[in-house]
Structure 1
Amino acid sequence: MAGVNSENIKLGPCAVYVNKGKPDEVYFGTTKGGVVLTYEETSREVTMDQTGTTPLKEIVTGRTANVAVPFGEYDHEKLLTVLPGSRMIVDSTDPNKKRVVVNATKVIDLLQYAKELTLVPLAEGTTPNDYITLPKAAPRANLNYTYDYDNELITNVTFKAFPDDNGDLISFGDPDAA
């Protein structure tokens, strides 16, 4: 097949990092059901009376990016990361006793919780050129735990991308490329 590079056909799961390589890095390495990246554009067709409903051109008016991460580790630190406005309480006499508390009376600005999110494919031969990065992504969690023998406890979180200070929303490839 002329012009087809089968090396560019990718398959497999990925690992998800919040603030990869930074001191506050959080690693989501176990997922169930697949990590799903959604990138969408909105646009507006431009028409004139003289051409009726036939568009003369189309203009992109907006872009969104989201990453759905169904992670399988029941971990207090990770819950704290994906539940904006939550807080950790650690017992003063036994540091192994802890809980994450979510307060319902707070109005939360998700932008203040936005951090860099990186998807790293786990396939053999993966390089940083295969990474996908959202420079500012805020978590939105939907917890629906089923306690039975047939299901793992999966925490569903969707990270919503916001433009960074340069207006960048998402990047495909090596984050260190300058």
Structure 2
Amino acid sequence: MAGVNAQNIKLGPCKVVFGTGADKIEFGTTKGGVVLTYEETSREVTMDQTGTTPLKEIITGRTAAVAVPFGEYDQEKLLTVLPGSRLVVDTTDPTKKKVVVNATKVIDLLGFAKQMTLIPLAEGTTPNDYVTLPFAAPRANLNYTFDYDNELITNITFKGFPNENGDLIEFGDPDVA
């Protein structure tokens, strides 16, 4: 197979890092695979003289999102991916806690957006293999099945928004300026 570089064929799970520095949270246990979706919208340009034959096409928008089926039941991480939620700790017994989600708040997700990076776990991975959404906000869809055949999976989708430079998604080392 001339021209095929097998080193460029990637396989395997990844960990998800949301935030940076002391603000960083790692989602390292997933079930069902982390899915990156990048899509473009476009508009075909036509003229009367060519009928429905497009003369060119213009990209009108781009979206990026990462679906993370997180496999740990962790109240601190749940608090991070449920924008507007709060942690309540019992005043007499600090081991008793609950995460409370209030339905009466209107929430701007940009206030919760941070850098989100996918780090492949395959041997030989370098930062050049990372995928980063420089400005991503979490949304969670909980569908817990309590039985012997299923793990409790918290489905999180990190939706990318353009950062102050207009950057939406990066493929490669996030430390390159």
What TM-score do you get using the length of structure 2 for normalisation?
A: 0.98
SS of equivalent residue, structure 2 residue 79: helix
SS at match of 1:134: strand
Is there any run of 5+ residues in structure 1 with no aligned partner, and where? none
Aligned match of 2:104: 105
CA RMSD of the aligned region, Å? 0.7
In the other structure, the counterpart of 1:11 is: 11
Partner of 2:140: 141
SS in 2 for 1:38: strand
Identity of aligned residues (%): 81
Q: Give the aligned partner of residue 125 of structure 1.
A: 124
**Residue correspondence of structure 1 range 1-178 to structure 2 within 5 A:** 1-20=1-20, 22-178=21-177
Secondary structure at 1:129's aligned position in 2?
A: helix
Return the offset for 1:65: 0.4
Q: Which amino acid aligns with 2:49?
A: Q
Gaps of 5+ in 2: none
Mapped to 1, the partners of 2:153 and 2:31 lie a distance apart of 7
| 3-state SS of paired residue (2:174) | coil
Instruction: Give the Cα–Cα distance (whole angstroms) in 1 for the partners of residues 132 and 89 of structure 2.
Output: 33
How far did residue 177 of structure 1 move? 1.3
Deviations 1:120-144 (Å, cap 9, x if unpaired)?
0000000000000001111111101
Following superposition, the deviation at residue 103 of structure 1 comes to 0.1
Q: Give 3-state SS (helix, strand or coil) of 2:133's partner.
A: strand
What is the SS of the residue equivalent to 2:23?
Answer: coil
User: C-alpha distance in 2, partners of 1:116/1:177?
Assistant: 14
